[in-house]
Amino acid sequence: MGCLFSRRRKPAQDGQLPQQQQEGAGQGAATGEQKAPQYSWDLRAKIDPKDYTFSGLKNETVGRLPGKVAGQQFVIQDCENCKIYIFDHSATITIDDCVNCQIFLGPIKGSVFFRDCKDCKCVVACQQFRTRDCRKLEVFLCCATQPIIESSTGMKFGCFQYYYPELALQFKDAGLSIFNNTWSNIHDFTPVSGENNWGLLPETAVVQDYVPLPSSEELKVVRVSTDAAKSIIPITRGRRQKNSDESCLTVFFAGDYTTANARKLIDEMTSKGFQLVQTKEVLMKAEDAHRVFQQSALEFIPLLEKGPVVALEFNGDGAVEQCQSTINEVFSGTKVFVSESKASASQDVDNFYNFADMQMGM
């Protein structure tokens, strides 16, 4: 797997007006008899790269409020001892040569790329996560694809935990699902024999101890919560060792309340001590249903045309029985797939997530 990024990427500068437009404008001004033709690009707001760059800052708290980035690309470079908060969705973000910074990055439609950074603590949501030549980064991550580190050491990862009122819509605007998070499935592009360049943050790690809430008057207007129970992203165990040899697969089908139903089941199960291992939102076809749902496939195939399914894996002794009981009591009017027994559940989980990983190119 090669590195796809150039050494530096800067925001594009606005181009010059077309020559014929310049000439037309001049003629109109000179004669007063005709107006310059209008082009669609004249009507667009001009982009000032300075509005999408933090560069050369020291010991400062800076940020962008919701609506201020609005899907543009952003550059953070040469910052030291800074607290940086991007409370909006963006196209891509590059972070270069930053030292001892605490950074929050709202949903990124494409990639976030850290280069030559060290001793930084971050909260990041993105489609693609990359680092190169970095040292000692601690990241609470939501990443839709497999995160990749290259020539980087001392990396630590935890599950994204964050909330503010605008965040759910920003995830949607960035094209990210709150259920697709591979935060612990790290690929080390440059492994060293006998060494481990990355690990997981403690399960007890609290986001606010790493990236504190913003203290500036400008940014305090964003109603942030780092309470894990309020997180927009469900907190998953990822690749941590499971506590039990019993898991249960539950699959919700597309509809008006799919997300709400999935969140409700997560709350019900975790409140009873079961652990959410992983989640996934993915489109399925009829042949996929046969592979995953086996004998129950025909019952669920008509539901697949409505949109993607949301799958949840719960772990703990008695997980299958408790899932079945909760679904019968709370979701009695909703068609849901749930593992039939402890014996079949392990295969259900493997079947679904093997299929989902292939779908997402993992």
Tell me the three-class secondary structure of the chain, residue by residue.
CCCCCCCCCCCCCCCCCCHHHHHHHHHHHHHCCCCCCCCHHHCCCCCCHHHHEEECCECCEEEECCCCCCCCCEEEECCECCEEEECCCECCEEEECCECCEEEEEEEEEEEEEECCEEEEEEEEEEEEEEECCEEEEEEEEECCCCEEECCECEEEEECCCECCCHHHHHHHCCCCCCCCCCCCCEECCCCCCCCCEEECCCCCCHHHHCCCCCCCCCCCCCCECCHHHCCCCCCCCCCCCCCCCEEEEEECCCCCHHHHHHHHHHHHHHCCCEEEEEEEECCCHHHHHHHHHHHHHHHHHHHHHCCEEEEEEECCCHHHHHHHHHHHHCCCCCEEECCCHHHHHHHHHHHHHHHHHHCCC
Pick 357 or 213 by higher pLDDT.
213
The domains of the chain are located at: 49-209, 242-361
| Residue 110 assigned ligand-binding role | yes
Q: For the chain, give the percent of residues with pLDDT over 90.
A: 78
Cβ burial 265-277 (10 Å sphere, 16+ → b, else e): bbebbbeeebbbb
Please compute Rg for the chain using Cα positions: 24
- Judged on CB neighbours under 10 Å (0-12, 13-18, 19+), 359 is middle
Does the pLDDT value for residue 167 go beyond 90?
yes
Classify the phi-psi angles of 243: left when phi > 0, otherwise alpha if psi is within -120 to 50, otherwise beta. Answer: alpha
Pick 326 or 28 by higher pLDDT.
326
Give residue-wise pLDDT tens across range 237-270: 999 999 999 999 999 999 989 999 999 999 999 9
Does the pLDDT value for residue 218 go beyond 70?
yes
Does the pLDDT value for residue 42 go beyond 90?
no
Structure confidence at residue 143 (pLDDT): 98
When the pLDDT of each residue in the chain is averaged and rounded to a whole number, the result is 89
pTM: 0.86
Q: Are 228 and 137 in contact (CB under 8 A)?
A: no
| Residue 8 assigned ligand-binding role | no
pLDDT band at 342 (very low <50, low <70, confident <90, very high): very high
Does the pLDDT value for residue 357 go beyond 70?
yes
Give residue-wise pLDDT tens across range 55-108: 999 999 999 999 999 999 999 999 999 999 999 999 999 999 999 999 999 999
Structure confidence at residue 49 (pLDDT): 82
Structure confidence at residue 333 (pLDDT): 83
Structure confidence at residue 150 (pLDDT): 97
Does the pLDDT value for residue 202 go beyond 60?
yes
Does the pLDDT value for residue 7 go beyond 50?
no
pLDDT band at 46 (very low <50, low <70, confident <90, very high): confident
Structure confidence at residue 39 (pLDDT): 59
Does the pLDDT value for residue 18 go beyond 70?
no
Structure confidence at residue 19 (pLDDT): 44
Report the CATH fold assignment for 242-361.
Alpha-Beta Plaits (3.30.70)
pLDDT band at 26 (very low <50, low <70, confident <90, very high): very low
Which of these ranges, 32-41, 113-122, 139-148, has the smallest mean pLDDT?
A: 32-41
| Residue 130 assigned ligand-binding role | yes
Report the CATH fold assignment for 49-209.
Pectate Lyase C-like (2.160.20)
Structure confidence at residue 13 (pLDDT): 46
